[in-house]
Amino acid sequence: MINANLDAKEKNILAPEEITAKDVTKTYLRWHFANEIPHSFERYLAPSLLYAMMPILRKLYKDEDQLRAAYKRQLLFFNTQLSWGGGVITGLMSSMEQERAKEVVNGEEVTMTDDLMYNTKAGLMGALAGIGDSIDSGTVQYIFIAIAVPWAQMGSPIGALFPFVAFALYQVLLGVFFARSAFKTGKNATGVMHSAGIQTVIEMLSILGMFMMGILAGNYVKVSSSLEFAISGRPFVLQETLDKIMPGMLPLAVVLGVYFYYIKKGLKVTRALVGLTLILIVLAGIGIL
């Protein structure tokens, strides 16, 4: 701990530099582009968070012991979603580390303790990951895909590129926004994220995501039956009957079948694709599809 009786000259040497919005943006971008590179089972994404925080920590802690302690503090187990969790937490940690550095240099009682910082991260990383996965992976990316599918069907390369470019740009901008907002909000960021208004927006977006997935399945999963036969001299076409009962019943059955397979067997995509292909080939061979 730095002595509380440091003279003015020593305090000036060890005084933390001011953290700017540009620093916070740089911190998030370092996190964003290093996110999965040092992923390990021991610390998960903590090395990425430390890499992101290093420029800010160097500006805040001029004492080598304090800097090493800050590195260790940000290297504890950490795992969250890229933009929602990563954006909020990088901004919040920057704010909390800045407050701690000021307390240390001024010889004040350290309120931003190691436990407080880690408990803040631990409390937010799971909750924000769930929110981010639901909205980004479960809603927004499908909106971009739905926009691009008609272009792809017309043979335009934009149809293939648009979802990737738009989604990547969206996540970068969203993460920077969250990082800056959390830095400004500081300790109150947790309360903001759990406010009734934010929760209502999240619930609405989750419902929208379910609608988008249903629309995509209904419009772009093409499965129909070719089965027809005569009953009492009158033709019976199975697909026409299914369309009268519920249009899109077969595509829905295929999507639900794959979904329940994933629920029971896990996300084994290749096995699901091979199995589904074989089933469809057999059904087509015997004249049902």
Q: What is the pLDDT of residues 95-152, one digit of tens each?
A: 889 888 888 887 777 778 888 888 888 878 877 887 888 788 878 888 888 888 888 8
Residue 121 burial by Cβ neighbours in a 10 Å radius (0-12, 13-18, 19+) = buried
Under the banding of pLDDT at 50, 70 and 90, the label for residue 1 is very low
CA geometry: angle at 101 spanning 66 and 90, to 5°? Answer: 95
Under the banding of pLDDT at 50, 70 and 90, the label for residue 232 is low
- Domain ranges, ordered by start, for the chain: 1-220, 228-285
- What are the C-alpha distances in Å from 79 to residues 88, 122, 167, 288? 13, 9, 21, 47
236 has which bridge partners? 229
- Which helix (H) or strand (E) segment is 114 a member of? helix 114-132
Under the banding of pLDDT at 50, 70 and 90, the label for residue 216 is low
Residue 110 DSSP code: -
Under the banding of pLDDT at 50, 70 and 90, the label for residue 50 is very high
Under the banding of pLDDT at 50, 70 and 90, the label for residue 188 is low
Q: Name the amino acid, one letter, at 3.
A: N
Under the banding of pLDDT at 50, 70 and 90, the label for residue 4 is very low
Q: What is the rounded CA–CA span in Å between residue 54 and residue 77?
A: 17
The pLDDT score that the predictor gives to residue 199 is: 58
The pLDDT score that the predictor gives to residue 190 is: 47
Q: What is the rounded CA–CA span in Å between residue 38 and residue 169?
A: 23
Residue 95 burial by Cβ neighbours in a 10 Å radius (0-12, 13-18, 19+) = buried
